[in-house]
A and B are shown apart, each in its own frame.
Chain A
Amino acid sequence: MPVVCSSCEKKNAVLKRPKTGLSLCKDCFFWAFEEEVHQTISSARLFTAGETVGIGASGGKDSTVLAHVMKVLNERYSYGLDLMLLSVDEGITGYRDDSLETVKRNQQQYDLPLKIVSYQELYGWTMDAIVKQVGLKNNCTFCGVFRRQALDRAAMMLKVDKICTGHNADDVAETVLMNFLRGDIARLRRCTAITTGSEGAIPRCKPLKYAYEKEIVLYAYFKKLDYFSTECVYSPNAYRGHARAFLKDLESIRPSAIVDIIHSGENLSVKEDVKMPVQGTCMRCGYISSQKLCKACVLLEGLNRGLPKLGIGKHHKLHHKLLAQEPLTEKEEKKLKAVDF
């Protein structure tokens, strides 16, 4: 016998919400999903009226749904925001060029301005070239660090007030787990914050922070939204994969585990006498950094000199050498070269 939607109790239910286990009909689900995002935005006071907001769009499901929901809510509740799409081209053939087509389609569908920046024009390196030098193991570090800066630079070019990204509950939970496993206390504190960034940097927020990944897919499926879904070809070797597999298993045992982990992460507190990195600016490019040189500059320097391991692992002592343009000793150089197998 068909199940009745537990919300409106009139229509037949077409899906079961992974988050609550209840069965809902299509419209009630749309309404519940959008309403939850709206509650997140209003209770965390993410935006103020009249702001220009850049939506980080990759063409994947999270950013497509984010763009759609932001547009809907902006009209429904009169946020008064100016929305635009920001996209980053990392230069991964077969992956990024296809998803960029999706972003361009999104732009036409939602009628929002779009800006694309590429690693090639910002740094002079594409991800394919980087992977050729670095190998398959640490490349996610490069991509992540470069992308963050790229997004900020694109936002500055467009004079955007805030950036919002499509990080969902699964992403935040994975990040909490990963930071715990790696012992990264500094990031543990910050990763569950819904808005990150401080003075000098453009704040970035995650309106979809409490939305399950599965629900995002359900939403996109029933709304017939168009998105591009393939895994990045370089991702299988990432450490995050372990945390993700663990999280998926947890979800199968107890579906609320994802939100439970976020709840745990929000309530963690660190002892006062633990050393925390102090925020400053990079001496070369002026970007925010806790060391003398920001991570992107260090990584770039390593790439340009053919020493790809510079930036992976801790080499604070080498930073001042790099700044002063001194040559590195042979021993140091040997350590920093890529490992050949």
Chain B
Amino acid sequence: MCQVDEDDHHAQLETKAVLSVSQKCMKCKEGSAVLIIRVGDAFCGNCFREYFVHKFRAMLGKNRLIFPGEKVLLSVSGGPASSALLSQVQEGLRRETSKKLRFVPGIIYVDEGAACGQSLEERGEVKSQLESIFRASGFPFYIVHLEEVFNLPSSVLLCASSASDRRNESYKEAVDGFIQRASSGTQSETRQGSISYKEVQTLLSELSTQEWSGEGGTVTNRSPPFTPEQTEAVRTLLASVKTLTAREELLKTLRQHLILHTARVRGYSKVMMGDSCSRLAVKLLTNISLGRGAFLAMDTGFSDPRYGDIAIVRPMREYSSKEIAFYNRMFRVPSVFTSALDTKEPEKASIHRLTESFISKLQADFPSTVSTIYRTSEKLNTACPRPIADGELTEKCLLCLCALDTGAEEATAFRATLISENLSRNRMPDTIPALGVAKQQCCASGGEQKESCGDRVDGCHSVDRTSFTPELQTLLCYSCRLIIKDMTSVNSIPQYILSEAERRKRRAQMKEEIQDFLLNPENDAGEVTVS
């Protein structure tokens, strides 16, 4: 069968009880079961709720990453999993003193209507629905629009060092200290939420209030903080990507940058994402197909440390989407449907869609597929970063900020692709293509008409392609290269990315010039203070 560590399957086959309507809950054995999760576990309503809540708290407690009093940003997309996340956090903060969750939450929602081609009215409607949910929670919330991607500073792409004082304090000491402070009476528990709320207010009053974000109880009727030109620019950017797969990846990257920037500016040190187990299994398989095998642990693990000062946390990663759906329905958790790039697309439109339908079909025949994939992912590590020859810290990819995996050593798949490229153009197998990628684009697409294309070996560029492309390639990891390869023009990429690329290139050139005179390995590659 499909599983390696499967037990006596046939014994189960004979003794499997027929699921009946009047089955008892398997936990308390008293209440009548109202739902079945996994393969045959029947739960009554209360036991299920307990199970659900306990899982969330156990997840947070086991990993000991969230220190008491820390500011945590919840990224809510309106979908069922992130709405369940929000309700769990609300639930956790409501409990009595000893069992209360001890962090300070905020909410962020990224409005991607521009990418999906929605009109302003549609976006406004979704926004107001979400705003009412957010207001009911009482946490400060920020609504960020995709258009604001053009206002981001290039420091977003740098990995800042984490707050050093945290590391010295162990988790237990932090919790003990916090309890002591709380019980000593200087801060009452009930005012905990409002203190952070006031902090946020003061922070905001310092910043220029360009953002169309609603805080607490104020009604905002300002005009949206983006211009129609920016909306158009977003559309152009996404239209310049030829395949849906690359478009989705690019959107994901931009969204991450926006969330990261908001968290940094507002002083949050952790971001919680609502990825469920099923979603993560799909993401794992998709990432393997995209060439992100080196970063699987970071992309899907519980914590994602690649940004340095801000850690991405995924507390919902053990819930299957079935459990979340049942919970939302039974306990009336509000969620809003927002259409995404791949809504209503056919199955083979993008790799993400294909993987999702593949796993769903496989799950129907082999019910342990998702959990097996999940368990496999837990055993993975990120590949050790290969140090660059001169001892500097490994370079990070420009877009996804992971350590570069394009070492082009002997006998790797990456080297094989370079060789194939060269051989198809009658170059020596070992030359790294200088402008090779730029050429492939126009040759492959315009092959029929551009017969003379091959004559000018080095000068064949599409008109609007700048000399940035080959330089961008060397700054990217394997899978981000594939995204850029799919783009027809690099000009519509937001400026912050291009200027950061320029800066890195200049720095590399500088380094090359003084290469012979450097003695000790530099270690300032990754540390930047974010102002």
Contact = CB atoms under 8 A, between A and B. Distances in A.
Nearest to A137: B1
Contacts of A270: 379-381
Interface stretch (A73-81, A93-101, A154-162, A245-253): A245-253
A185 B10 contact: no
Interface residues of A, number: 66
A268 B296 contact: yes
Interface string B337-373: 0000000000011110011001000100000010011
A72 B10 CA distance: 52
B478 to A, nearest CB: 6
Given A3-B447, A313-B1, A183 B372 contact: yes
Given A261-B289, A270-B380, A6 B424 contact: yes
A36 B413 contact: no
Contact of B354 (A250, A256, A263): A250
A262 B348 contact: no
Given A182-B372, A264-B291, A314-B5, A254 B245 contact: yes
Contacts of A210: 413, 416, 420
B515 interface: no
A180 B4 contact: no
Contact of A269 (B9, B10, B381, B448): B381
A20 B405 CA distance: 21
Given A249-B354, A314-B6, A4 B288 contact: no
A180 B411 contact: no
B424 A20 contact: yes
A300 to B, nearest CB: 21
Contact of A274 (B5, B11, B379, B451): B379
Nearest to A270: B379
B288 A267 contact: no
B174 interface: no
A188 B379 CA distance: 11
A17 B420 CA distance: 10
Main secondary structure of the interface of B (DSSP, over half): helix
B362 A20 contact: no
A267 B451 contact: no
Contact of B479 (A8, A260, A262, A335): A260
A21 B354 contact: no
B232 to A, nearest CB: 28
A28 interface: yes
A183 B375 contact: yes
A35 interface: yes
Contacts of A19: 420
Interface stretch (A37-45, A223-231, A288-296): A37-45
B6 A267 contact: no
B530 interface: no
Contacts of B416: 36, 39-40, 210, 259
Interface residues of B, number: 72
A298 B423 CA distance: 48
A270 B383 CA distance: 8
Interface in B470-501: 478-479, 482
B419 A36 contact: yes
A257 B351 contact: yes
A245 B414 CA distance: 24
A312 B447 CA distance: 52
Given A264-B291, A274-B379, A314-B5, A43 B411 contact: yes
Contacts of A177: 285, 288
Contact of A246 (B243, B349, B358, B381): B358
A63 B394 CA distance: 41
Contacts of A283: none
B454 A4 contact: yes
Contacts of B448: 1, 3
Given A21-B440, A242-B362, A182 B383 contact: no
A39 to B, nearest CB: 5
A3 B376 CA distance: 47
B451 to A, nearest CB: 6
Contacts of B10: 309, 335, 339
Contacts of B482: 254, 256, 260
Contact of A313 (B9, B294, B355, B419): B9
Nearest to A178: B2
Interface string A7-50: 11100000001011111100010011001100110011000000
Contacts of B329: none
A249 to B, nearest CB: 5
B413 A181 contact: no
Interface string A132-156: 0000001000000000000000000
B415 interface: yes
A298 B410 CA distance: 39
A256 B454 CA distance: 23
Nearest to A41: B411
B420 A20 contact: yes
B334 interface: no
Contacts of B294: 264, 267-268
A337 B369 CA distance: 26
Interface in B276-292: 284-285, 287-292
A235 B424 CA distance: 36
Contact of A180 (B354, B373, B384, B447): B373
Pick the most buried of A8, A21, A28: most chain B CB atoms within 10 A of its CB: A21
B417 interface: yes
A239 interface: yes
Given A22-B424, A32-B424, A260 B290 contact: yes
Contact of A185 (B9, B284, B362, B379): B379
B384 A249 contact: no
Contact of B383 (A7, A35, A183, A268): A268
A289 to B, nearest CB: 16
A252 B355 CA distance: 13
B488 to A, nearest CB: 15
A22 B444 contact: yes
A128 interface: no
Contacts of B429: 35, 39
B6 A313 contact: yes
Nearest to B10: A335
A253 B6 contact: no
Contacts of A166: none
A164 interface: no
B192 interface: no
Given A181-B369, A182-B372, A264-B294, A36 B423 contact: yes
Contacts of A184: 4
Contacts of A183: 3-5, 372-373, 375-376
B379 A21 contact: no
B293 interface: yes
A19 B369 CA distance: 31
B421 interface: yes
Nearest to A195: B411
A182 B4 contact: yes
Given A43-B411, A313-B1, 4 more contacts: A4-B454, A9-B426, A36-B423, A268-B296
7 contacts: A4-B451, A176-B288, A181-B2, A249-B348, A256-B417, A260-B291, A313-B1
Pick the 9 closest A-B CB pairs, nearest first: A264-B293, A260-B291, A267-B294, A44-B411, A210-B416, A263-B413, A183-B372, A7-B426, A32-B423
Interface of B: 1-11, 13, 243, 245, 284-285, 287-294, 296, 348-351, 354-355, 358, 362, 369, 372-373, 375-376, 379-384, 405, 410-417, 419-421, 423-426, 429, 440, 443-444, 447-448, 451, 454-455, 478-479, 482
